[in-house]
């Protein structure tokens, strides 16, 4: 199973991105990374790593792995958590990056106070571009699941199998990657529920 953890800063990502994508897309991604960095600030992932690492990992999954090259989808991948995890509004995203990017980010943002299972189940109705955003996000989250406590590993594994794997069929690369991931992590199915 391939992992995507080499882009830990925009400076590391920009060179590979520039070889794979047109200059206008690279510029939009540079702006999106700066926007996300401003909104996420000093936030950290549960592992203690800077939040921006996750956003760049998801971008690396999409670009270097899945070969996604659609500008709005890639920008939405970088911005996918600003509605859910910061005070940023959809209008601010739309004003800066356009209504389509804002709509994609909204699709993958769990509503405040919403039930996570309901939100994940609703993704089957999402446009394919929003599903790509979610798949890149979740691939980043699960590629190094061993960093998390075992109870989280177990629940997140089953959540991913139930809600995310069925979505992966929208893109053959993601279908293959998540199948390999599941095989790699299948041992979790034997762990007792405590």
Does position 190 have pLDDT exceeding 90, yes or no? no
What's the CATH number where 20 sits? Answer: 1.10.3210.10
pLDDT over 70 at 32, yes or no: yes
Q: Is 125 part of a structural domain of the chain?
A: yes
Categorize the per-residue pLDDT at 194 as very low, low, confident or very high, splitting at 50, 70 and 90. Answer: low
By percentage, how much of the chain surpasses pLDDT 90? 80
Q: What per-residue confidence (pLDDT) applies to 68? A: 97
Residue 17 has pLDDT above 70, yes or no: yes
**pTM of the predicted structure, to 2 decimals:** 0.95
Per-residue confidence at 35, pLDDT binned at 50, 70, 90?
very high
Identify whether 3 is part of a domain: no
pLDDT at 31: 98
Average pLDDT over residues 164-180: 95
Coil, helix or strand at residue 94: helix
Return the pLDDT at 148: 84
2-16, 44-58, 168-182: which range is least confident on average? 44-58
pLDDT at 73 over 80: yes
Share of the chain above pLDDT 70, in %: 99
Whether 182 maps to a domain, the answer reads yes
Domain count, the chain: 1
**How far is Cα 75 from Cα 67, in angstroms, rounded to an integer?**
14
The yes-or-no verdict on residue 140 having pLDDT over 80 is: yes
1 falls within a domain: no
Look at residue 146 in the predicted model and tell me its pLDDT. 87
145 pLDDT more than 90: no
Burial of 190 from C-beta contacts in 10 A (0-12 / 13-18 / 19+): exposed
Long-range own/partner contacts, residues 161-169 (CB < 8 A, 24 or more apart): 162/120, 163/117, 163/120, 163/121, 163/123, 164/120, 164/134, 164/135, 164/138, 166/124, 167/123, 167/124, 167/131, 167/134, 167/135, 168/135
Residue 128's domain comprises: 10-190
Residue 4 lies in a domain: no
Whether 47 is covered by a domain: the verdict is: yes
Burial 76-93 (b: 16+ CB within 10 A, else e): bbbbbbbbbebebebebb
């Amino acid at each position: 199973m391939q992992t995507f953890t080499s882009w830990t800063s925009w400076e590391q990502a920009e060179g590979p991105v520039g070889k794979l994508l047109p200059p206008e897309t690279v510029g939009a991604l540079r702006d999106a990374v700066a926007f996300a960095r401003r909104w996420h600030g000093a936030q950290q992932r549960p592992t203690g790593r800077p939040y921006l690492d996750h956003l760049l990992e998801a971008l690396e999954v999409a670009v270097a792995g899945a070969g996604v090259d659609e500008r709005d989808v890639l920008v939405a991948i970088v911005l996918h958590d600003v509605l859910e995890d910061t005070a940023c509004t959809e209008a601010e995203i739309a004003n800066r990056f356009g209504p389509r990017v804002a709509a994609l980010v909204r699709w993958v943002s769990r509503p405040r106070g919403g039930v996570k299972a309901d939100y994940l189940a609703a993704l089957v109705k999402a446009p394919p571009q929003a599903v790509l955003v979610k798949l890149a996000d979740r691939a980043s989250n699960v590629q190094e699941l061993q960093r998390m406590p075992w109870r989280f590993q177990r629940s997140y594994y089953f959540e991913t199998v139930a809600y995310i794997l069925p979505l992966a069929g929208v893109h053959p690369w993601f279908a293959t990657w998540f199948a390999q991931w599941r095989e790699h992590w299948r041992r979790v199915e034997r762990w007792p529920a405590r």
